Amino acid sequence: MPEADFSLPVRVYYQDTDAGGVVYHATHLHFLERARYEWLRELGFTANSLIENHDALFMIRSLEIEYSKPATLDNLLSVTVKVTHVGRSRITLFQEILLENIKLVSATIHVVCVGVATLKPVSLPMPLREKIGNIK
């Protein structure tokens, strides 16, 4: 996979782990979500600005995740975001969770842009589409 568009450092805290000190499987989804949110912020958008200025929000349509190695308490992880496809209303992202460049988790996530009132697919806001186009 080509180099990521964005990377977020995430420290593993006690609250992220199970009784054995291993990151709970569902917690990885929180890390991936946090990286997507910060990636959008770096592009100049927030969830609130998308709602207020574009009457749009993002929902996960589907995701495929593979757990390769465990993360443990106090690890400093890198959570990456890479845009792999942009459609009319959908963005496909490839994300990884890495520990010192070793892949722990990989995920392909299909995010769909929906209208706030209808929750039905709408076109990606043009300013966001332009920003994504500049980094691809």
Instruction: Dump pLDDT digits (tens) for 8-26.
Output: 999 999 999 999 999 999 9
Residue of 5, 18, 55, 74 with catalytic role: 18
- Burial-class residue 40 by CB neighbours within 10 Å (0-12, 13-18, 19+): buried
pLDDT per position as a tens digit, 10-68: 999 999 999 999 999 999 999 999 999 999 999 999 999 999 999 999 999 999 999 99
**CATH code for the domain defined by 6-135:** 3.10.129.10
Instruction: Assess whether pLDDT exceeds 80 at residue 2.
Output: no
Q: Spell out the residues 6+ positions from residue 22 whose beta carbon is closer than 8 angstroms to its own.
A: 70, 71, 72
Domain coordinates of the chain in residue numbers?
6-135
Global pTM reads: 0.92
The confidence score (pLDDT) of residue 67 equals 97
What is the rounded distance in angstroms from the CA atom of residue 67 to the CA atom of residue 28? 9
Whether 55 sits among the annotated catalytic residues: the reply is: no
